[in-house]
Amino acid sequence: MQQAITSDAPVAATVSLTASAPVTLTADLAATLTGIRRGIEKEGIRATAAAILSDQPHPQALGAALTHPYITTDFAEAQLELITPAETDKQKTFAFLTALHHTVAKQLPEGRCCGAQVSHRVCRMSRRSPLPITASPTRGG
Tell me the per-residue pLDDT of 74-110, one tens digit each, with 9 for 90 and over. 878 888 899 999 999 999 999 999 999 889 888 887 6
Task: Give CA–CA dist 71/61, Å, rounded.
Answer: 11
Give me the residue spans of the domains in the chain. Answer: 1-36, 41-136
34 Cβ contact partners less than 8 Å away, ≥ 6 residues apart: none
Q: How confident is the model at residue 1 (pLDDT cuts 50, 70, 90)?
A: very low
Arithmetic mean of pLDDT over the chain: 74
For residue 54, which amino acid is it?
A: S
Q: What pLDDT was estimated at residue 22?
A: 66
